[in-house]
């Protein structure tokens, strides 16, 4: 693991861990006059499944490509497995809301629930597509490489959408406490939940950065040099041309093609 990716992964893990600890503490253990400890209620299970089981596990699955050693197949299998865990958590997390009141969709009136339904549905489609693609290794390499950027684009978009949904969920929870239980507007509890919200916003940036930023930043120039040299062995390359490739190659990295570069 190189320096750059190392720090990104470590930072993402520490932040994810901090968020998990605060969420578990706040929803399971925290007790006060306005929020009596109620143990594992459906609301608590919903929050834990969505933040930890769905968002944090899904983020970890995205990070897999950044740090896990081994073959591409291993990475893909672990990625698929972790995203599967995230999907099950998300579906189960939604299920706690299906049964919350009378009627399956009676609880799905808010923007939070609409955004949640959208992100979980897209996530399910994305996972099924990824699953099918994984088991169709025989398909033309070109087809799969054409699909990959779309997979990454939609994957990161759905991840961002899930986090935006979590933000609305945290806001609903706090507004509920403030209006129904007279929680004061400025208090330690709201600071903690707002902190979780900002933590998720930051985590989103780090995880997406880990997916789109260059993986082998240090050795990048060397790789490109090798590439140019190998493909041009006997030919002169003008300075302009080199610059052209150098400049462009950076952008390719934003396109997640770093691994391709390395494998060439």
Minimum CB separation of residue 232 from a second copy in Å reads: 6
Q: Does 167 bind a second copy (CB under 8 A)?
A: yes
Q: Is 70 left (phi over 0), alpha (psi -120 to 50) or beta?
A: left
Q: Does 141 bind a second copy (CB under 8 A)?
A: yes
CA distance 172 to 179: 10
Q: Does 258 bind a second copy (CB under 8 A)?
A: yes
How many positions of this chain bind a second copy (CB under 8 A)? 75
Q: Does 103 bind a second copy (CB under 8 A)?
A: no
Cβ proximity to a second copy, 24 vs 213, nearer residue:
213
Closest listed residue to residue 89, CA positions, set 64, 127, 139, 55: 55
Binds a second copy (CB under 8 A): choice among 26, 27, 123, 256: 256
Minimum CB separation of residue 39 from a second copy in Å reads: 25
Q: Does 193 bind a second copy (CB under 8 A)?
A: yes
Binds a second copy (CB under 8 A): choice among 164, 192, 199, 216: 164
CA distance 74 to 147: 19
Stretch that binds a second copy, among 11-19, 29-37, 80-88, 229-237 (CB under 8 A): 229-237
φ, ψ dihedrals at 67, nearest 5°: -130, -25
Stretch that binds a second copy, among 29-37, 43-51, 60-68, 162-170 (CB under 8 A): 162-170
Q: Does 148 bind a second copy (CB under 8 A)?
A: yes
Q: Does 257 bind a second copy (CB under 8 A)?
A: yes
Closest listed residue to residue 83, CA positions, set 105, 109, 56: 56
Minimum CB separation of residue 64 from a second copy in Å reads: 18
The two three-digit tokens of residue 44, written as one number: 């608590």
- 33 membership: H or E segment, kind and range: none
DSSP assignment, residue 54? Answer: I
Closest listed residue to residue 97, CA positions, set 113, 121, 114, 81: 113
Binds a second copy (CB under 8 A): choice among 3, 109, 182, 188: 109
Please, are residues 86 and 155 in contact by the beta-carbon 8 Å criterion? no
Cβ proximity to a second copy, 40 vs 248, nearer residue:
248
Residue 56 burial by CB count (10 A; 0-12/13-18/19+): exposed, middle or buried? buried
Q: Does 239 bind a second copy (CB under 8 A)?
A: no
Binds a second copy (CB under 8 A): choice among 92, 95, 157, 216: 157
Binds a second copy (CB under 8 A): choice among 18, 80, 88, 118: 118
Binds a second copy (CB under 8 A): choice among 63, 125, 174, 199: 174
Q: Does 153 bind a second copy (CB under 8 A)?
A: yes
Mention every residue, 6+ apart, whose C-beta is less than 8 A from residue 43: 27, 96, 173
- Using CB under 8 A as the binding rule, the residues of this chain from 49 to 88 that contact a second copy are none
Cα 122–chain centre separation:
14
């Amino acid at each position: 693991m190189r320096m750059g990716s190392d720090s990104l992964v470590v930072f993402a893990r520490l932040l994810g861990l901090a968020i998990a600890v605060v969420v578990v503490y706040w929803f399971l253990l925290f007790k006060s006059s306005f929020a009596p400890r109620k143990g594992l209620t459906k609301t608590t299970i919903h929050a834990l499944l969505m933040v930890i089981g769905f968002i944090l596990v899904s983020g970890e699955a995205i990070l897999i490509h950044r740090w896990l050693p081994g073959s591409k197949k291993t990475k893909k299998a672990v990625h698929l497995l972790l995203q599967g865990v995230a999907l099950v958590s998300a579906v189960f997390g939604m299920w706690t809301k299906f049964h919350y009141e009378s009627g399956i969709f009676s609880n799905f009136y808010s923007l939070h629930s609409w955004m949640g339904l959208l992100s979980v549905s897209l996530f399910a489609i994305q996972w099924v597509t990824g699953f099918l693609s994984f088991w169709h290794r025989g398909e033309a390499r070109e087809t799969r490489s054409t699909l990959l950027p779309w997979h990454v684009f939609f994957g990161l978009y759905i991840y961002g959408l899930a986090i935006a949904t979590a933000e609305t969920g945290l806001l609903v929870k706090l507004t509920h406490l403030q209006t129904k239980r007279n929680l004061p507007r400025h208090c330690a509890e709201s600071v903690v939940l707002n902190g979780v919200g900002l933590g998720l916003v930051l985590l989103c940036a780090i995880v997406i950065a880990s997916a789109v930023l260059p993986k082998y930043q240090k050795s990048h120039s060397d790789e490109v040099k090798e590439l140019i040299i190998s493909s041009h062995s006997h030919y002169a390359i003008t300075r302009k041309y080199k610059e052209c490739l150098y400049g462009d190659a950076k952008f390719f990295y934003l396109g997640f093609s770093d691994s391709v570069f390395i494998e060439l």
